[in-house]
Structure 1
Amino acid sequence: MDTDDHAEQGRARVAWIRSRMSLLAAARDELAGTRPFAGHRIGMSLHVEPKTAVLLETLAAGGAEIVGTGNFGSTQNDVVAYLNTLPGVTIHGAREDTAEQHAGNIAKVLDAGPDMILDNGADLAAGLVERGSAHTILGGTEETTSGGDRLRSELAGSIPFPVIVINDSLLKAIGENKHAVGQSAVESFMRITNVMVPGRRFVVFGYGWCGRGVAQYLRALGGKVAVVDTDELKAFEAALDGFRVGTPQDFAAWGDVFITATGRPDVLGYDIVENMHDGAILANIGHFPWEIDVAALRARQTGSTEIVDAVERIDLPNGNHVILIANGRMFNLAGREPKGNSIESMDLGFLLQTFSLERVATQAATLPPGAQPVPDDIDRTIARRMLANLHAAS
């Protein structure tokens, strides 16, 4: 398929998604009148799929010039081709990019000299600090918990501009992380593996908002679910919600499927994998491909076979094998036929992005530097709009 065909395919897919994102449609009309992003260049690092395209169309309607790239392993080429037909929008990257090529794409975004950032995993923020050019940025947003954690740990004190962490929003936590990620993870698991959920034993690592959703939706379809979380309060909550709770080793031999949703590196190590039963399935729904220690797994494997796209058999020295989904990347976007979170949930989540970026563009001087939550008035405005949509549809 050539570039023009890719662009037309992307255009058609985006048109369908756009037709279901009424919150962004209303915002697009508002921003076309106020143009708060006029004169601003937004550097973006975000999963590039059709819902993201509707967000970028909305920002462009508000006057923004956009230079961006996707996240490693999840970029959808037809959407990139379509976005690159839009005036003032330049998107780098492809689904096939290696980790090194992805790093080069991040560099291209920073080379373009943005004065605002729309970040995912704090890759742009980290690049700005490394270059010593963080002082050139007015402000920005961060989509994920993983990125918020980086901003508050390794990058703490190094960010002189405000970064609104979208995942700090309770509205997003409930609407997108719990319900949309939960639904998306289970639907994607079923589609990629074609195995049955009812009666199967699942171990969910992490009982944050995403982990809650994954556990809830698996159980709703008849799965037997155990939860691992090192935070005593979250483990307590999971226990009272009716899930089995314990350590990774408690469930290593019990589980059929292991899904990580923590935002933390190496939570599922080889010491756990070697105690799993033959044919256990490993999958990650967190942002970074680091929650499953894939490097340690590959260092010890005696063989591997790609069964179908995003499904790989890895043979172990003890004679067993495990199945690795999407090479440890976020499988609802990096797996086969990626769909990601539901359209309506991303309509809500990307409206949070839009209004938070508008707040930065118009009132950055009133915001403190560094990571911070979505302003309460933005959360409540969007909650009212979402409730109005739900009432209209009922």
Structure 2
Amino acid sequence: MTHAQANPATPELVERGGARIAWIRSRMALLAGLRGEFRRTRPFAGRRIGVSLHVEPKTAVLLEVLAEGGAEIVGTGNHGSTQDDVVAFLQSQGIGIFGRRADSLADHHANLARVLDARPDMLLDNGADLASGIVERGRAASILGGTEETTSGGDRLRGELAGKVPFPSIVINDSPLKAIGENKHAVGQSVVESFMRITNLMIPGRRFCVIGYGWCGRGIAQYLRALGGRVAIVEIDEIKALEAALDGYRVAPLADLAPWAEVFITATGRAGVLPAQAVAVMQDGAVLANSGHFPWEIDTEGLNAMTTSATDLDGTLRRLDLANGRHVILVAEGRMFNLAGVEPKGNSIESMDIGFMLQALSLERVARAEGLVGGAQPVPDDINRRIARLMMATMGAAL
């Protein structure tokens, strides 16, 4: 068994994972209701779902629900965010998830290949890694369809993979429910919580530059300001930039904000939005963090070329001493930092209850082959509205 496949599941690890998942499961009311429905209807009977998704306790509840619906699961986590106790518990329940927190990038790629080797007929994808691999192997025609979780994955499906994916791929990130509940409020909350937990720095009075004013950027800016942060926005889209200005934020080019801000947080899903030349003029001790799915928003290659020495501070923070005599702090090596560090929590339970209901019902729609076309497409409107009504009911709200 290779390093990428190994994941020794001690009884203690299984017990810890089970206890954490039990707490999460008890607070995901939407998925609890769907679990009973899927147990009766078995929409995934005879289906093998290939999974590439952050493996943490909330993900485990989704996978349990899909398994209750008859799915055979074979999957892995995303690089750097897998939680070993969750994997151990899922394996103990016969759910085929593998990978480790300590996996290298090469191990992660081997894990993805292992998922594809199992020849799934449906995909639950994050960043379009599985979809890309299926296309490369010439097996796209064998896939019934699937879902894609992220902005980054949706961009790949509509960009480099456009016209190459004949099967329907429902982009969960296109749902207004995900935009509002998960991206704005949950990412906003989890990024701020993670910044405080990982750095132990104070937010009130600190100068933050948020790069990107999409739904995630809006939420990050809102939650930072709510705790007393001084927030500025970098945005290239005229309408979003105007919105940020009307929301009361300073809006300026990165070249103007680089010497001003103390903390930089990227939230775009696009490569190279925080280039090395901007780092060169930052003040001494600036903190660099990325909230996007892929570790490409911060130009870490260019940053490394400017670095004369580097020091790991605690496993998540890395001090980079630059040739100009200053230093910066890079969080989580430029990976998505709200699932990094000790005891990462990620997005809130309730937001992922909504998000994973979108996943489960969209996968059910794919399995039933109802009214879908090939390629990337949004979540069907009736699914959005059904989940909105259910969530309002759990909150004691009504139309």
Structure 1, unmatched stretches of 5+, are: none
Residue number in structure 2 paired with 1:390: 395
8 Å CA contact retained: 1:201, 1:257 = yes
Q: Are 1:347 and 2:353 counterparts?
A: yes
**CA distance in structure 1 between the partners assigned to 2:105 and 2:37 by the alignment:** 38
Amino acid at match of 1:243: Y
Q: Which structure 2 residues correspond to residues 27-66 of structure 1 after superposition, within 5 A?
A: 27-66=34-73
Q: Secondary structure at the match of 1:44?
A: strand
Residue number in structure 2 paired with 1:85: 92
Q: Which structure 2 residues correspond to residues 74-153 of structure 1 after superposition, within 5 A?
A: 74-87=81-94, 89-153=95-159
Residue number in structure 2 paired with 1:185: 191
Q: CA deviation at 1:332?
A: 0.6
Structure 2, unmatched stretches of 5+, are: 1-7
Q: Which structure 2 residues correspond to residues 1-394 of structure 1 after superposition, within 5 A?
A: 3-87=10-94, 89-364=95-370, 366-391=371-396
Q: CA deviation at 1:3?
A: 2.3
Distance change >3 Å, CA 233–CA 91, structure 1 → 2: same
Amino acid at match of 1:215: A
CA deviation digits over 1:62-108, x for unaligned, max 9?
00000000001100001011111123x21121111111110000000
Distance change >3 Å, CA 136–CA 2, structure 1 → 2: closer
**CA distance in structure 1 between the partners assigned to 2:98 and 2:80 by the alignment:** 13
8 Å CA contact retained: 2:213, 2:244 = yes
Residue number in structure 1 paired with 2:4: none
**CA distance in structure 1 between the partners assigned to 2:314 and 2:188 by the alignment:** 24
Aligned-pair identity (%): 69
Q: Secondary structure at the match of 2:313?
A: strand
Amino acid at match of 2:116: L
8 Å CA contact retained: 1:49, 1:76 = yes
Q: Secondary structure at the match of 1:355?
A: helix
What is the TM-score when the length of structure 1 is the normalising length?
Answer: 0.98
**CA distance in structure 2 between the partners assigned to 1:384 and 1:63 by the alignment:** 26
What is the TM-score when the length of structure 2 is the normalising length?
Answer: 0.97
Amino acid at match of 1:44: V
**CA distance in structure 2 between the partners assigned to 1:286 and 1:316 by the alignment:** 25
8 Å CA contact retained: 1:260, 1:284 = yes
**CA distance in structure 2 between the partners assigned to 1:105 and 1:2 by the alignment:** 17
8 Å CA contact retained: 2:269, 2:292 = yes
Q: CA deviation at 1:2?
A: 5.5
**CA distance in structure 1 between the partners assigned to 2:337 and 2:330 by the alignment:** 10
Amino acid at match of 2:309: G
Q: CA deviation at 1:4?
A: 2.2
**CA distance in structure 2 between the partners assigned to 1:39 and 1:300 by the alignment:** 53
Moved over 6 A (4+): none
Q: How large is the RMSD of aligned CA atoms in angstroms?
A: 1.1
Q: CA deviation at 1:235?
A: 0.6
8 Å CA contact retained: 1:325, 1:335 = no
The count of corresponding residues between Structure 1 and Structure 2 is 391
